[in-house]
A and B are shown apart, each in its own frame.
Chain A
Amino acid sequence: MSKPTFQRWLNECIVGFVNYSEDDLIRLLFKSDIQSIPHGSNLKQAIETTLNKGSSKLDTDKAILMGFLEEHLTSLTKRLKAFGHTNLAFRNLIKLFQEERGYAYINVVKEYAKKLFGEGIKSSNLGEIVNSLRMFISSCQVTRPLPYSQVIGLYYALNMAFKTSFRINNLQNFTSLLRIVNNEHSKLPSLDNYPKAQQVEFKYYEGRFHIYEQELNQAEECFDFAFRLCDKDSFRNKRLVLRYLIPVRAYKGIFPTQALLVKYKLTDLSEVLTSLKQGNIELFNRTLEANQDKFIKQGIYIMLESLQLLAYRNLFKRTQSILKTTHVKLSSFSTVLAVAGVKSISLLDVECILVNLINKKWIKGYISSSQKTVVFSKVDPFPKITEISD
């Protein structure tokens, strides 16, 4: 390449890659030598050693790469400084905001909070934002009525705090923050008075929190509310809400139509859900493993894993309807599973699964271990999951 194209390429690299983390940089530059560089080590040293090993790269490339990496490293330190300054500035803004007439600054505060969040992501320093956001929230808790008081910014601030805590994967502050708003004795204005966007976001984060606390009924309420209130045209938001609403509803036995999944482009969930409906355990395991990375990133994986019991329940329902007796031998279940292709299931495994199903009240009946049979009740042995009061 000639000199001016070199320079252009360099400049584009520097401008474009400045937002990359070290891991991504390593992957880009040394696609072949990833495993030789230890994870997270000092970039400069590592690259020097790999270059000096005698690879077939020219001296000009070396110089370019080293210069490029120096720029990257210095930009990281500059970014930390920038973050520190924005943090201080934000806190001083909030002091202004706290004054009597300060509510007029709400739009400035919102913009600045967004900027602070962006800076935090770039410098990967989100944990320090939490304290300044808490200041923001406490400054919003004012008893003067809407709209001429600082309470305008309450839900915006709360949503920001939730966003950061989900990014850091640290939900310790959540309960205390939720208590501010959900308290019966709080004199703060209710959620209805705020714009729809903030309401939807708030309920979305609240629902996700309830999932982690395993309060599935409340989670379903939150996501339902968010989905209904969400604007018709905001495709992305609806999709996000659905991504969590569908597994939560699947626990209750309510499945979405194929049309809905296609409309919102959630087809990776469709196979999983059909396997659940049919009771096809082999397919369920296969699709979960195939999409494991995706589901872990989206935060649904653990929920979907625990839905395996539903697949067993549906399979056993089918077998019982074929056999048409109330007394079913355990061996018949194990043969069914063997035929379906599930490997290495013994009688004891089957017993254990049935014990769990009976405890969840998804099966009405009991197991007699002496006769190795399951005795189903005559009336409604597999009750509808939606009708089970849990």
Chain B
Amino acid sequence: MDLPQKRSRFSEEKLKIIQEFYKQMPQLNPNPAMYPYMIAPDPMPIWPHPPQQQQQHKTPTSANEKLKNYIARAFTKCQTDIEKDLMETFIRDIITRKKNAGLFFQEDWDKTEIPKLPREQVTITAGPSLEVPKIFQPSSKDQIQKRKSRFEPIELVEDSKPRNISKEQNIDEHNKEKIKKEILSEWKIIGTCKELEKPFFRLTSKPDPKTIRPESVLKKALAWLKERWRKGEIKYEYFSDQLRSIRQDLTVQGIRNKFSVEIYQAHTRLALEAQDLDQYNSCMSRLFELYKEGLPGRVTEFKAYQIMYFTFQHLYIQLEKCLKALNGVEKKSPEIKQAMEFKRAILLGNYHQVFHIRPNLMNSGNHLLDIFMPKLRVLSLLKICKAYQPSISVDILTKELGFNHLSEAEAFILENGGVIEAGYLECRPSLLGLRKSSLIQTKT
């Protein structure tokens, strides 16, 4: 590198004179043994040169050009900015994968496939033109029978073993997320199955379109199942299992419309009737996702359920979230007004008000109350025993706590440790018994 030239004190002529002068002087030759530091070091470069490029990392120019062509081809296919971004990520993925596998330089870029955009995904529709895959070629009649029996309705046994839920839940959630992402980006399935009743199996990979039902069949299936439920032919477990398979078919096909909202709403109401809180919670979360997207449905009814549920479970932070999300229009609706009255009654411990509203509760609010009613009753009995003395007639209690008959009330009180004498609840002695009642000991 050229360093800037120094301006010397002397002109050239004078420099010459000085140099001649110094030549005449006796030259010093120090003994290197005596003065080792006088030895000049090796000549250092003025500016450090960059390290020489090793031949291994150099990409041959021919491959570079092929790569460039490949990338150019890929980008000409894209039509919008979003697709260009997608294509960029795909190509980067491919390149990193090949580099890691060590196949980068052996790759023939002219022959590699350009990654497919979502709009070009081949929609899989099973039809007569497709060949039957080799694996499923049943030969004997028995085998054909077995394959047919896949689609027949299976009655679940009632006493199923309790599963180790926590591990399975973690794995299932992980799988669910994977599958959700895959559905959004890759799959596009249109089902062909026409069975009205199909059992529920958790998906771990892409399903066969022959096992998935299209929307028209699902609507018929729902109507069919509802009829059977009304006649009393099927029980809750079977019905909810069938509903879950319907939900699965909808999500796999990416259907999100009025019908899907209907299904989720029906399933939540069913879960409330059967007092299945796990299913209720999962359904509600999905329902509200659908509502967020703007799909129509009975929003006020389900928001009212949420308000009541959160007050019962003392989840005040989520209750506030619910309240914040209410519109002005929704606040004036009768369902939510009732839910707010109900909420206030429970917050203040006003059991009289609760059971006063109870016969007027809209929709499935009754079922929600039934889940938490026994605990509420025992707690209010405790309060009554502390406040009243010496005794209170069971007649009044039947009205206050919403029992249908005196005998019901008596049975309930005696079950939970109360002491009744001649139609009167003895307050002091019942206190001990009521405190030990099992309903209060549990956390829910």
Contacts and interface: CB of A to CB of B under 8 A. Distances in A.
Interface of A: 35, 38-42, 77, 169-171, 212, 214, 296-297, 299, 301-302, 305-306, 308-309, 348-349, 351-356, 358-359, 366-369
Candidate in A169, A214, A305, A354 with the most chain B CB atoms within 10 angstroms:
A169
B292 interface: yes
Contacts of A309: 348
Given A214-B314, A352-B352, A366-B388, A169 B320 contact: yes
B319 A348 contact: no
Given A169-B317, A369-B392, A369-B396, A358 B386 contact: yes
Contacts of A368: 388-390
Contact of B293 (A41, A296, A299): A41
Given A169-B317, A305-B347, A359 B386 contact: yes
24 contacts: A42-B294, A169-B320, A170-B317, A171-B317, A296-B323, A297-B324, A301-B323, A302-B347, A306-B347, A309-B348, A352-B352, A352-B353, A352-B400, A355-B384, A355-B386, A355-B387, A359-B387, A366-B387, A366-B388, A367-B387, A368-B388, A368-B389, A368-B390, A369-B392
Given A41-B293, A369-B396, A306 B324 contact: no
Contacts of A40: 292-294
Closest A-B pairs by Cβ, 10 of them: A41-B294, A352-B352, A169-B321, A355-B387, A358-B387, A38-B294, A366-B389, A40-B294, A369-B392, A356-B349
A39 B294 contact: yes
Interface string B326-360: 00010000000000000010011111110000000
A281 B221 CA distance: 54
Contact of A353 (B296, B350, B396): B350
Interface of B: 82, 291-294, 296, 314, 316-321, 323-324, 329, 344, 347-353, 383-384, 386-393, 396, 399-400
A225 to B, nearest CB: 22
Nearest to A344: B356
Contact of A302 (B319, B386, B392): B319
A39 B297 CA distance: 12
Contacts of B292: 40
Nearest to B427: A366
A308 B349 CA distance: 11
Given A39-B294, A40-B293, A367 B388 contact: yes
B373 to A, nearest CB: 17
Nearest to B392: A369
Contacts of A170: 317
Nearest to B347: A306
Contact of A348 (B323, B324, B400): B400
A328 B220 CA distance: 66
Contact of B320 (A38, A41, A296): A296
Contact of B352 (A38, A214, A302, A348): A348
